[in-house]
Amino acid sequence: MGRIPQTFIDELIARSDIVEVIGARVQLKKAGREYKACCPFHSEKTPSFWVSPEKQFYHCFGCGAHGTVLGFLMEHDRMSFPEAVEELAARLGLEVPREGGSDGEARRPEESLYELMGRVAGFYVDCLARDERARQYLARRGLTRQIIERFQIGYAPDSWNEVLKRFGTSDQSRRQLAELGLIVERERGAPRDGERHYDRFRDRIMFPIRDARGRVIAFGGRVLDQGEPKYLNSPETTLFHKGRELYGLYEVRQSRAPLRRLLVVEGYMDTVRLHQFGIPYAVATLGTATTPEHFKRIFRLVSEVVFAFDGDRAGRAAAWRALQHALPEAREGREIRFLFLPEGHDPDSLVGEEGREAFERRLEAALPLSEYLVRTLAAQADLSHADGRARFAEAARPLVARVPEGVYRELLLARIAETIRLSPQRLQELWGGSGRPAEAPTSAPPRPPLPARRRTSAGRGGLVRQAVKLLVHFPELAGRLQPEKVEALLRLETPGAQFLNGLINELRARPARTTAQVLERWRDRPEGEKLARLAAEENLVPDAAAGAKELDTALDRLLEEAGRQRIDRLLEKDRALGLTAEEKLELQGLMTKLSGPRPSSGRP
């Protein structure tokens, strides 16, 4: 099937009523211009789940869940994106159009790759059904036929070219197999038997890795007997980025059991066995440390995550890496905990030995992130004397700095202060004032006086962030900007300016009426989740008219700051090499312009 056009998704969002869709599943209560309810994604007694008909957006202040009407259907009803689109379209009596469907029209290149991966996965399943040795191996590992079928586990035959022969019958198909990492090109100088490529996976149990829509995007292969590497994964490809994917997440989303937490383990077999034993919320990282993108995916689904690691040195090293990546995502409403298994056990063997109930009791007793952090650092310092406590504090400082400001960070600070026998206030004072002053240059020539720098607004983030947030909440503002201002913004080198320009230009080319339309356009882009978080933040600007003034002020200040940065660069060049006549005129013009009267901000 072809791609759903973005114009249709825009229309679907514009014509759908998020209050009606969510209200059919959650008991909403009117609260001013919005609606509130107890969150359907985590247990709570006091409502913290809000739905905005104006933005067509929902947000839970407890667990952080947020999104559009399509996002709600995907999270609450466990639908894939196309299924959610079909559901909304059916409610409105609309037919979902497709771009490049099966009528002989051109399809996107990725679609034929997904199809090929699905066919290869089916071939591996068929090979397992015909190979007694592979079936006996899975039986010894305790896997049932039902769980094997659910995860589509297969077997790659002990052959150098079986996949190549079956699926690489043309130059184009061989290029696709190579692009997907299913075949490997022989090294130069290696003896050949007439074929340039060979199968990557041979004589291995095959675990297909599926995306949120259930499409096979990669494989993990495990040897049946002795051999290295024990596990072999697909390489990074057009379809597969291991730092984003979690094995078993598709199967978790297919489960109709209430989803309260995710359990992250390290192996394919661990995941499959945990699901078999009635723990259908287990997922695995794919041969890599837990990444920030993993955390974002996890916290879109649940507010609690438990990491299970072996109790050996390698397991503890992996746990510490996970903690460091978790810190920027730690905040109130979320739980991040760590479970260390008994020596000699992994999740697969432990759940098989003691069963689901005993294993879940271990999960309930897992260490919270704050306690794991404190205990690990305390083990590296002697807290009985001042030197050890100072060393502890210095090790904790950069870690705490990575936690977002809020209640959780304050509580973590208090826990660390208690450990070193200081008050949280005093610890914060000491940490806040410990930066070394920059050394003044001794031989630089005197600089001409610069126009006084104006303070940028404090407390609401940087100017780029303010501008993006205003556009998310009031997307119609992009169309009101003066063309010369839009053109001037293109020359900005401020971090984030390129994204701001892209957002402005897209909204000017294709105006959006609601926040939800903006978010759906950016759903699959790296910045999509950042925009959703900005949409979830409280907006202190009352209406679009006030938002226009705020946006103009923020953009004026950005352009002014860019001018000052250009002055700095020209002055540096003047001291080092001297300026051309044109650059001198530019410098004079910039300094005259920025020394002039301040543009009005619309405020007293």
pLDDT digits (tens, 9 = 90+) for 454-463: 443 333 458 8
Number of C-beta neighbours around residue 293 at 10 A: 16
What the block records as the tokens of 547 is 């938002």
pLDDT for 595: 62
Amino acid letter for position 134: A
What is the pLDDT, as a whole number, of residue 402? 92
- Residue 53 has what DSSP assignment? T
* 573 contacts: CB under 8 Å, gap ≥ 6: 579, 583
pLDDT per residue as tens digits for the range 75-122: 888 787 888 898 888 888 888 888 764 443 444 566 689 999 999 999
* Reported confidence tier of residue 570, pLDDT bands at 50, 70, 90: confident
Distance in angstroms (rounded) separating the CA atoms of residues 113 and 301 = 28
SS3 279: coil
pLDDT at residue 392, as a whole number: 95
Tokens of 243: 């730092």
Query: pLDDT digits over 472-512, tens only?
Result: 999 999 888 888 778 777 767 777 888 888 899 889 989 99
Write the CA distances from 472 to 335, 520, 532, integer angstroms: 29, 12, 9
3-state SS class at 154: strand
What is the per-residue pLDDT across 298-330, written as a single tens digit (0 to 9) for each? 887 788 999 998 878 888 888 999 999 999 989
Determine the Cα angle at 59 with ends 54 and 63, to 5°.
Answer: 175
Residue-level pLDDT at 111: 67
What's the residue count for the chain?
604
In angstroms, how far is the first alpha carbon of the chain from the final one?
Answer: 58
Flag whether pLDDT at 445 surpasses 60.
Answer: no
Nearest to 470 by CA among 544, 382, 533, 391: 544
Q: What is the mean pLDDT of the chain?
A: 85
Which of 241, 103, 219, 95 is CA-nearest to residue 154?
Answer: 219
Q: Which of 41-45, 238-242, 469-473 has the lowest mean pLDDT?
A: 41-45
What is residue 331's predicted lDDT score, i.e. its pLDDT? 86
Mean pLDDT of 540-555: 87
The token pair at 87 is 């559901």
CA distance 414 to 416: 5
Q: Is 508 exposed, middle or buried (0-12, 13-18, 19+ CB in 10 A)?
A: middle
Residue 193: band (very low, low, confident or very high) from pLDDT cuts 50, 70, 90: low
Identify the helix (H) or strand (E) that includes residue 3: none
- Find the range with the poorest average confidence among 139-153, 443-457, 464-478: 443-457
Residue 2 has pLDDT above 80, yes or no: no
Closest CA to 392 of 373, 377, 402, 407: 377
Edge-first strand order for the sheet with 367-368 is 282-284, 261-265, 304-309, 335-340, 367-368
The string of pLDDT tens digits covering residues 230-240 is: 899 999 998 99
Q: For residues 146-164, give the mean pLDDT.
A: 96
Q: What are phi and psi of 576, to 5 degrees?
A: -85, -45
Q: What pLDDT score was predicted for residue 360?
A: 96
Distances (CA, A) of 396 to 157, 210, 530: 51, 38, 27
Query: Residue 451: pLDDT above 70?
Result: no
Cα(577)–Cα(537) distance, integer angstroms: 48
Would you say residue 437 has pLDDT above 50?
A: no
Q: Which range (285-289, 407-411, 465-469, 599-603) has the least confidence?
A: 599-603
Of 354, 339, 259, 341, the closest CA to residue 306 belongs to 339
Residue in this structure with the two tokens 């299924």, named with its chain if needed: 83
Q: What is the pLDDT of residues 117-146, one digit of tens each?
A: 999 999 999 999 999 999 999 999 999 999
Mean pLDDT of 25-38: 91
One-letter-per-residue 3-state SS of 214-249: CCEEEEEEEECCCCCCCEEECCCCCCCCCCCCCECH
Of 256, 303, 304, 309, nearest in space to 285 by CA: 309
List all residues 6 or more positions away from 94 whose beta carbon is below 8 Å from its beta carbon: 11, 12
Q: What Cα–Cα distance (Å) separates residue 173 from each residue in 180, 444, 483? A: 11, 64, 48
35 three-class SS = strand
CB atoms within 10 A of CB 233: 22
Handedness of CA 89, 90, 95, 98 (dihedral sign): positive
In the block, residue with structure tokens 């973590």: 412
> Contact, 347 vs 362, CB < 8 A?
no
Q: In this predicted structure, what is the pLDDT of residue 453?
A: 43
Query: Is residue 369 within 8 Å of residue 399, measured between CB atoms?
Result: no
Helix (H, G, I), strand (E, B) or coil at 183: strand
Average pLDDT over residues 328-353: 92
CA distance 339 to 107: 46
Instruction: Identify the pLDDT of residue 518.
Output: 92
Q: Helix, strand, or coil here: 49? A: strand
| Distance (Å, whole) CA 588 – CA 568 | 12
Helix (H, G, I), strand (E, B), or coil: what is residue 312? coil
pLDDT tens-place string over residues 520-536: 998 878 788 889 889 98
* Residues sharing a CB contact under 8 Å with residue 569, sequence separation 6 or more, in sequence order: none
Task: Report, in angstroms and rounded to the nearest whole number, the Rg of the chain calculated over CA atoms.
Answer: 28
Q: How many CB atoms lie within 10 A of CB 318?
A: 18
Three-class SS state of 129: helix
Tokens of 253: 């989303």
Residue 557 has pLDDT above 90, yes or no: no
* Rounded-to-10 torsion of CA 292, 296, 297, 299: 130
Tokens (6 digits) for 193: 């038997």
367-368/335-340 β-pairing: antiparallel
Tell which phi-psi region holds residue 6, choosing left (phi > 0), alpha (psi between -120 and 50) or beta.
Answer: alpha
